Structures are given as C-alpha cells and as structure tokens.
C-alpha cells in the first residue's frame, strides 16, 4: 500500500527559529510532492510543491526533495506564531488521475 509518513508531533519551535518538517513516502514512482498547511477547523491550503530533486525556495519556505532516499522536507525560516498549524505532506503517484495521498500531518506550534 502506498504510504506517506510524517512525525505527528507536536513540534514546538521558538519564534524566529527554523522549523523543520519531514516526510517519507513508500512509492518509488511518485513524481509530485506537496506541502499543505491546515489551520484548526479550516481546509488545507497549498504552500509548496516540488517535483525535482534538490531545494525549492518560496519566501520563508524551502521544500527539499530526495527521491533516492524517498523523503521530502519543509523548512520554515524565521518562524512566526501565524505558522502554528498542522502541515500535511502529500504525494501524487499517478498523473492519470492526480490522486493525492496524504500523510497524517505534523502539528507545529511556534512559541512567542
């Protein structure tokens, strides 16, 4: 069974520090990788997508992908209290239907 695994946390990080979130996936043919942020009681919102090995930066967010090791990570620099949320890792393995397989999420708390 195709799986996406995350540390459920909670992960507590001081304000201004770097938050590091990790995700591993089991399906080697996976091609597209996503990080979603979900505030309590809200729907997920896309914050990063990555398709190639290496780093991708967008503002304070950096996604890192290593297909050989089957892991993807998200770094949040200069963490803010507004970054406190659950972060969901998601993977597409089949471009024919673009089904996303989600991890269970990591709950992140930024401590002021």
Residues at the contact surface with other proteins, assessed by CB under 8 A: 4, 8, 34, 42-46, 49, 88, 96-105
Choice between 64 and 101, CB closer to other proteins: 101
Dihedral over Cα of 29, 34, 67, 73: its sign: negative
Q: Can you tell me the distance from the alpha carbon of 92 to that of 101, in angstroms, rounded to the nearest whole number? A: 6
Question: How far is residue 3 from each of residues 16, 90, 103, measured CA to CA in Å?
Answer: 32, 10, 7
Q: Provide the minimum distance between the beta carbon of 71 and other proteins in the complex, in angstroms, as a whole number.
A: 17
Choice between 77 and 99, CB closer to other proteins: 99
Choice between 35 and 62, CB closer to other proteins: 35
Residue 105 per-residue DSSP state: -
The residue count of the chain comes to 112
Q: Provide the minimum distance between the beta carbon of 99 and other proteins in the complex, in angstroms, as a whole number.
A: 6
Q: Provide the minimum distance between the beta carbon of 18 and other proteins in the complex, in angstroms, as a whole number.
A: 24
């Amino acid at each position: 069974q195709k799986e996406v695994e995350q540390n459920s946390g909670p992960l507590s990080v001081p304000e201004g520090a770097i938050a590091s979130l990790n995700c591993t996936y089991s399906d080697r043919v996976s091609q597209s990788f996503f990080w979603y942020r979900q505030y309590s009681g809200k729907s997920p919102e896309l914050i990063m997508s990555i398709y190639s090995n290496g780093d991708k930066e967008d503002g304070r967010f950096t996604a890192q992908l290593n297909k050989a090791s089957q892991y993807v990570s998200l770094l949040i620099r200069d963490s803010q209290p507004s970054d406190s949320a659950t972060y969901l890792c998601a993977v597409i393995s089949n471009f024919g239907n673009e089904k996303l397989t989600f991890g269970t999420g990591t709950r992140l708390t930024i401590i002021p």
